[in-house]
Structure formats: structure tokens, C-alpha cells
Copies of this chain bind each other. A is one copy, B any other.
Amino acid sequence: MSITAVNASIITIGDELLIGQTIDTNSAFIAQELNKIGVWVKRRLAVGDVYDDIWKALDEESKQSQIIIITGGLGPTADDITKPLLCKYFGGKLVVDEKVLTHVKYLFEKIFRRPGPMLERNLKQAEVPDVCTVLHNERGTAPGMLFKKDGVVFISLPGVPHEMKGLITSKVIPYLLSAFEMPAIVHFTAFTFGQGESMLAELLQDFEASLPTHIKLAYLPNYGMVKLRLTSQGDYKEEVEKELQPYFERLQELVKDFLVTNKDVGIEVVVGQILKAKGKTMATAESCTGGYIAHLITSIAGSSAYYKGSVVSYANEVKENVLSVQHETLMTVGAVSEETVKEMVSGTIKKLNVDFALATSGIMGPDGGSDEKPVGTVWIAAGNNQKVETLKLNLRFDRQRNITITANNALNFLRKFILANS
């Protein structure tokens, strides 16, 4: 391999990241996009709105990486630290960029439709250091800025995720592709469900030992699923893929009992693809997952082709009145029971007129448990108009994690039911 990886550092600026008020989703997006074009993110660093800390971060990261992506510190109420700092760091002065100014005025007059004159702080968004290349931000008032110093490229972007994403896709990636010669990085991901990380590792011990040193296997456990990722790099994407393919096939063969798909997607995407291919429909009846399964499914554009809806029957009377669960069932065996989830499935198939239905009922905690049904007791049912199958889980996590694991397990259970019954 002759082309070596280009290293990048991502610096995020903002006190909100350091007091934990905001979860940093920007870095993951940027890392993904850079990775796709063969840039290896070596370090991600978050610093506060502190002049010296930002300056130091620029100094340090530029010693380790050829590309520095900076997000945050540019909004209309930012502490006015970042832009003057960049100006000084790269030896320029702030000037009004006419194109940005026109754009800011356009946004305020036509899009935001603010009455009255524009605010000074908004007009200041059009000021940029005269030593930068302006990256036009279609989606907001703060432009991206590109600087070069001692062979290192620095790109400063606003921290608003929607604006940052637009700039990364439309400006940053095309620029980097034109400016650097990058190796091709290829990831192949096998998505497994139903077996723990340790046992998979045991199963794959010999396989892992047989891999050439430049091919890496990573275990990515996530709420009941484990993704197995093979990574390699080289000069040409096609060559890397060709070399990796037989290893990936062997990997899939070894884990075939647990394999969901050979793509890096969510379980809700897999269920949707199966339904779409078969021309079938589904609906959900959610008690303990409280709409989270519906949310996962409807987050996918186009899900209305196979998903009709959900009855989030949080109260027992909704299970009775909307889903026709029998009063006697709820009184004798309770809402968290095999009978109840079975009746929820049957009621959903009839009421929502679908081919398949999925139901959940459980105790997510921290309260509501009993000796007989402790917190973490969950019943899942999946079925069609012929039969209904059930699964019981005994979870032992906190509320959020119990909800997520239940949703993933339920979707995987439905996936298996559909494949076995259609």
C-alpha cells in the first residue's frame, strides 16, 4: 500500500459539552463522513469556551493531524471568543463578507420573517477573518471557515447539527477529496443478535487469529445485538473490497446462527426491508415500550408502505377498549403476562387490519415490581392471523436501557416470526 492514511482531529468547543448538558452527536457524524473518504480520525477533543484552552487545542492537534475540524463557538450568542481567536491564530483581521451578509439578510427577511431591523449580533455573523476561505452555509447565518497553516488544514463550522451536516456534505468532503490523496478504508459489518460478546469471541478465536495484520475485527455490542466489523485499507476501494470479501463470507458463515444481516443498519430497518420485499404490513401494540418501537419504525422514511401504526396501550382500559383484551385476562393473570400480549397481537391484527402484529408488556422500573413479577419482567408476542408466538425476557437494567433492549428484542422476534411464517 503506497497511500498512507490522512489523520484528522475533531475539536468541539462549548461549556455545555463539558458540564454534560449536551451529548456530542456532531463528532460521530463528522467521523463517519471523514472515515468514508479514507480520513482516519485520530483524536476527538472537547474544550470549553476558554481562550487559552482553545488556542492550546489548535496548537496540539495540528502537531498530530493534517486536518483539524472545529465545531461550535460561532452562534449569535457565543461568547465572541472563537472567531477573534481564529483571526489572531491565523494572523488576519475581521472583515464583512458581502455574500454572507446578503445571505444573512435574506434568511431574516424571507425565511425567519422577523419584523423590524436586524440585530447587530446577527449582522456580525457576516464578519469573517480575511485570511480564510468562506464555506457558504445555506442552512444558517454562521458561515464555515477554512484556514491553512504549516501544511495543516483547519475548518471551523457552526455547532448546530443541521447546519454542520449541510456544510460537511456540501463543502468539506468535496474540498478534502480534492486536496488530499486518501487511501480507501473499507468496513464490512455482520449484524448478529442473540449471542453475547464473549461467546462470539470464542467462536471466532481461530478466525481472528487467521486474519492478516492489516485486517481488523471489532466487536460492537449494543443493547442485545453485537455487530462484528471487519476493516481494511489500501490504495483502491475495489481491491480492498475484493481482498476483504472472502474473510467477510467466512465470518458470516461462522456466526450464521445469529446473523441478522450483513449491513450496518438498525433492526427496524431489517424488519422494514423484509416486509417491503414480501408486500406485507404490520402494526404494533405497545405497553412497556410506550411508543418507542413505533418511533424506531417511523424514523425510517417510507415506512408508511408497510407500517400502519401502533396502539400504545399504557393503561389497562386502553388494552380492553381499543385492543379488545379480555377484562378477565387482565384481572386473573395481569397485564404483564403471556395471555395479555397474545390478545394484544390478535386485537391489533383485527383492529388495524395488518398481516403481522407485535406486542410488548412488562415492568420497566424503577417501581412497579413484585416478588412474582420483578422489575425487568417482559412479555413479547408476534403473530399473524394464524398463530401467535411469545418470548419472555428478564432484564436487570435501568428504565431507558430496559425499554431499548425490549424494543430491539421484540423487533428481532418479529423478524424471525415473519421469516418462518410467510
Q: Residues of A with Cβ closer than 8 Å to B?
A: 15-25, 27-33, 35, 40-48, 53, 57, 60, 75-77, 111-112, 114, 119, 121-122, 160-162, 165, 187, 196-202, 216, 218-222, 227, 229, 264, 283-284, 286, 289-295, 297-299, 301-304, 307-315, 317-318, 321-322, 351-353, 364-367, 396-401, 403
Cβ 8 A contact of A220, one of B16, B165, B294: B16
Cβ 8 A contact of A353, one of B31, B41, B297, B321: B321
Please, which residues of chain B bring their CB within 8 A of the CB of A367?
301-302
Cβ 8 A contact of A44, one of B18, B28, B165, B364: B18
Alpha-carbon distance A77/B297, docked complex (angstroms): 31
Most buried by B among A22, A32, A311, A367: A311
Contact of A21 with B313 in the complex, beta carbons under 8 Å: no
Q: Knowing that A307-B314, A310-B310, A321-B353 are A-B contacts, what are 9 other residue pairs whose CB atoms are under 8 Å apart, sorted by A's residue number?
A: A18-B40, A19-B35, A20-B27, A290-B297, A294-B294, A308-B318, A311-B312, A312-B312, A321-B351
Contact of A15 with B312 in the complex, beta carbons under 8 Å: no
Contact of A313 with B302 in the complex, beta carbons under 8 Å: no
Q: Closest 3 A-B residue pairs measured CB to CB?
A: A290-B298, A291-B294, A20-B32
Can you list 14 A-B contacts (CB < 8 A)?
A17-B44, A18-B31, A18-B44, A23-B28, A27-B46, A45-B46, A290-B295, A291-B292, A294-B294, A308-B317, A309-B313, A312-B312, A315-B352, A318-B352
Alpha-carbon distance A297/B15, docked complex (angstroms): 28
| CB-CB nearest in chain B for A398 | B162
A77-B201, A399-B299 known; A41-B16 Cβ under 8 A: no
| CB-CB nearest in chain B for A396 | B111
| A50 CB to nearest B CB, Å | 8
Contact of A197 with B76 in the complex, beta carbons under 8 Å: yes
Contact of B15 with A20 in the complex, beta carbons under 8 Å: no
Alpha-carbon distance A220/B293, docked complex (angstroms): 29
Most buried by B among A30, A60, A122, A290: A290
| CB-CB nearest in chain B for A313 | B309
| A297 CB to nearest B CB, Å | 7
Contact of B299 with A308 in the complex, beta carbons under 8 Å: no
Please, which residues of chain B bring their CB within 8 A of the CB of A199?
114, 119
| CB-CB nearest in chain B for A307 | B314
| A200 CB to nearest B CB, Å | 8
Alpha-carbon distance A221/B77, docked complex (angstroms): 10
Contact of B396 with A218 in the complex, beta carbons under 8 Å: no
Cβ 8 A contact of A76, one of B60, B76, B198, B290: B198
Please, which residues of chain B bring their CB within 8 A of the CB of A196?
112
A318-B308, A401-B162 known; A24-B22 Cβ under 8 A: no
